[in-house]
Amino acid sequence: MRILLVNTSLHWGGGEAWALETAIALRQLGHTVGIAVARDGALATRANDAGVQVAAVPCSPFGRWVASRRLHAWAAAFTPDVAIANAGPDVRRMAWLLHGLRAARVLRRGLDRPLRRDAWHRAQYRRLDAILANSEATRRTVLASCNEVAPARVGVVHNGLDVEAFLRFTPRDVRQSLGIAPDAFVIGIIGRLTRQKGHAIGFEAFERVRAAHPETQLLVVGDGEEGPALRRHPAAARTHFTGSVHAVQPYYAACDVIVVPSWFEGFCYVAVEAGLMRRPVIAADASSLPEIVVDGATGLLVPPGDVSSLADAILKLAADPKRRAAMGERAHARVRARFAIQVVVPRLESFLQDACAWAAQRSA
């Protein structure tokens, strides 16, 4: 198949990581893959570095006429069999790129939030051949908020992780560089500093844990709009903020447990990466997190927003190193079996073939 991904976000996040890793994996299966990207976006740079064919999209379909015409000509020459839009604005750009072309149109929904229901968006959904959700939780939300696409054409393919590539990293003693004692118990919160991720819940739980075990440390990796407020939190004086980091693996290795107190997720890369690094995850029982974290086996699940339950779960694992180690081993095995890119991409390949068949029915 000839597969066109449309992702024009300027920022780097789960959707962009999915686009790049999926493009590389599909190429390895023999497909031809291109990505329509924002000219100055993070995905453009990383895709170029990986040797993936890219074309820069003007900030609007009605941007510079010459650039727009050139891009449409590129899409026509690419002749995709199927195109996958990353988000709402990309559905519009996909429709513009595919004007006059007979290609299957797929929306990839990567966030467990209802689809917008205004007249313009409903009209766009009616032009889709399929919707690809990244978790069962996301699929349920899509079905509850969109009746323009038949349920049989709303599929689930979890995000995949390039396991071997992720495990190739230069070891680094993060604890020493941050002044954390080798025997301290370290809680990690890794991800964008946004309200969605529930950092404030994690900070409050951390304060309760410290009341019982003053030597406990909190390591916060990431950056975002909630950063200034979190740095003013009372717990911030005893928290290690790293900002954005390029290689996150040493930071997982520096932690004893990873906490994911998110209010909602689409598919949580952090929970998967932590498992791959043999770290148990204590997560909110929300959205797709129960699809990744097996309560009592690979980690613990707690009610969303429940500070007391989160603190109690942290204290349980802090007191039981053997249980933490066993959970980490089971998490590692589960990630390899269920979320490795080599396992996931053939499922995506099958779904895209179905989408092409549904598009052919529409055109007949």
Query: CB atoms < 10 A from the CB of 358, how many?
Result: 19
Q: Which among 285, 307, 306 is positioned nearest to 235, based on CA atoms? A: 307
Give the CA distances from residue 17 to residues 21, 61, 64, 72, 154, in Å, rounded to whole numbers and listed in that order: 6, 24, 28, 25, 22
Element (H, E) at 64: none
Residue 218: strand pairing partners:
187, 239
Q: Which fold has domain 2-160+341-363?
A: Rossmann fold (3.40.50)
The two three-digit tokens of residue 179, written as one number: 């002044």
Question: For residues 302 and 335, is the Cβ–Cβ distance under 8 A?
Answer: no
Dihedral-angle region of residue 303 (phi above 0 means left; psi in -120 to 50 means alpha; beta otherwise): beta
Q: CA-CA distance, 76 to 74, in Å (whole number)?
A: 5
For the chain, the structural domain boundaries read 2-160+341-363, 165-338
Residues 6+ apart with CB under 8 A from 257: 187, 188, 279, 280, 281, 282, 314, 317, 318, 324
Q: CA-CA distance, 144 to 335, in Å (whole number)?
A: 29
The two three-digit tokens of residue 180, written as one number: 């954390």
Q: CA-CA distance, 3 to 49, in Å (whole number)?
A: 19
**Residue 62: per-residue pLDDT:** 47
The two three-digit tokens of residue 141, written as one number: 């939300």
Q: Which among 109, 72, 280 is positioned nearest to 186, based on CA atoms? A: 280
**Residue 4: per-residue pLDDT:** 95
Q: Which fold has domain 165-338?
A: Rossmann fold (3.40.50)
- Helical segments of the chain, H only: 14-28, 42-49, 65-78, 88-97, 119-125, 136-145, 163-166, 174-178, 199-212, 227-231, 249-253, 269-276, 289-292, 307-318, 321-338, 341-363
Q: Enter the pTM of the model.
A: 0.90
Question: For residues 116 and 124, is the Cβ–Cβ distance under 8 A?
Answer: no
For residue 191, what is the DSSP state? S
Mapped onto helix, strand or coil, the DSSP state of residue 51 is coil
**Residue 65: per-residue pLDDT:** 52
Residues of the chain with pLDDT under 50: 61-62
Q: Report the side by side order of strands in the sheet with 104-109.
A: 53-57, 32-38, 2-7, 82-85, 104-109, 130-133, 154-156
Q: Is the dihedral of CA 43, 49, 52, 53 positive or negative?
A: positive
**Residue 364: per-residue pLDDT:** 62
CA dihedral of residues 35, 81, 144, 271 (deg, nearest 10) = -40
Place of tokens 């998967």: 272
Mapped onto helix, strand or coil, the DSSP state of residue 302 is strand
CA gyration radius, the chain: 21
Instruction: Please state whether beta strands 239-243 and 257-260 pair in parallel, antiparallel, or not at all (unpaired).
Output: unpaired
Give the CA distances from residue 162 to residues 21, 25, 250, in Å, rounded to whole numbers and listed in that order: 7, 9, 17
